[in-house]
Amino acid sequence: MKTLKDLGDLKGKRVLVRADFNVPLDGTTITDDGRIKAALPTIEQLRKDGAKVILMAHLGRPKGKVVPELSLAPVAKRLSELLGCDVVLAEDTYGPDAQAKVAAMQDGDVVLLENVRFNPEETSKDEAERAAYAKKIAALGDVFVSDGFGVVHRAQGSNYDVAADLTAAAGLLVEKEVSALSRATENPERPFTVVLGGSKVSDKLGVIENLLDKADRLVIGGGMVFTFLKAKGYEVGTSLLEEDQIDKVKGYIETSAKNGVELVLPVDIVVNKGFPAGDTPIDPKVVPADQMPSGEMGLDIGPESCKLFHDKIVDSKTVVWNGPMGVFEVPQFAAGTRAVAQALVDATAEGAFTIVGGGDSASAVRNLGFPEDGFSHISTGGGASLEFLEGKELPGLKVLD
């Protein structure tokens, strides 16, 4: 995989950078700028090298239409603040305004193209249509840098097809992501513990299958755990449950035992009379994991499980975590996710290599107030991180080879 240092002298060159600025918004206010900050090292290095930096990214799912609420204007504003320079926003992705603003650039300037997903061709399944669109974007630049790790698992116009038209390399963020995830999966220092949460076990099937012969320990929480508990014959009340995955999970339980992989499940659960929304009162109770009431919903792991998970994580040399332990957005059901995050911080302090695997996990550690430098690596790619952990070939990386 080519990297920035393989591109040679970039002074005066127009460098197209595919970044990942798909940040959460409250109106026009960015509520988590972690992905923007993650892109800064590449942008700053290119500016230092005298390049003209042309950024492209998506925001939300406008489905090929111009949706003003999903304009990258708030991103341009935040980038200007973080970089200490004016980041000019083009009104389109490759049209007259983008062309004019790029033509006016001086060395070290930064232009942000408007949301690439305002163009239906960006995500088209028609390869010829996508390739023709990518050529229009590529005409704006001399070199392409892929730095949006959150989209490398997709073959889309601005991160895949553009690479066919220009000299292409990975940016510092993508290089860092690949290095960190490879270190955790190819030759991890042991014990190697994988912590999985989130709502659905089906979202993590590939990860579990790929890691059942690589990890020393699998720690399972979140909504997906109830399919595991049901597979063990336990009552799970009204909790999230994927009935069609029970037999597969039974197979995982058997395989983990056969392979000597320690499977760690919660010993107690925080339950409530339904999901905490609307008129549903919040009245949490802690029950043993094998004694859940039929009318209650599991929304977090309990205090004994928090201690158990903490001890298992701290007793590790490599830890990868993907997915919250409960409904962490509600304070009464955030203790499990907080305990896992704290365990990773403690493990890092003891010398372990720890990865927070993007998506909701990354949002959780920031929203719960954990320092980013408390972890070895916080991934910017939820889906991309998962597919990397599954051992899949990611098109946005393959095209850089």
* Residues making up the binding site: 20-22, 35, 58-61, 117, 154, 204, 298, 329, 358-361
**Cα(223)–Cα(217) distance, integer angstroms:** 19
**Cα(46)–Cα(98) distance, integer angstroms:** 20
DSSP string for 267-322: SEEEEESS-SSTT-----EEEETT---TT-EEEEE-HHHHHHHHHHHHT-SEEEEE
Active site residue 200: yes
**Cα(98)–Cα(106) distance, integer angstroms:** 15
Q: Are 286 and 333 within 8 A, CB to CB?
A: no
Amino acid at 232: K
Q: Binding site for (2R)-3-phosphoglycerate: what residues are annotated?
A: 35, 117, 154
Q: Which residues pair with 144 in a beta bridge?
A: 16, 168
Q: Binding site for ATP: what residues are annotated?
A: 204, 298, 329, 358-361
Q: Are 336 and 312 within 8 A, CB to CB?
A: no
Of the candidates 13, 14, 18, 35, the residue annotated as catalytic is 35
Task: Sort strands 318-322 and 377-378 into parallel, antiparallel or unpaired.
Answer: unpaired
Active site residue 359: yes
Of the candidates 141, 326, 359, 382, the residue annotated as catalytic is 359
Q: Binding site for substrate: what residues are annotated?
A: 20-22, 35, 58-61, 117, 154
**Cα(379)–Cα(401) distance, integer angstroms:** 21
Of the candidates 50, 64, 374, 383, the residue annotated as catalytic is 383
Of the candidates 77, 135, 183, 200, the residue annotated as catalytic is 200
Residue 233 backbone class (left: φ over 0; alpha: ψ -120 to 50; beta: rest): left
The residues annotated with a catalytic role in the active site are 35, 200, 359, 383
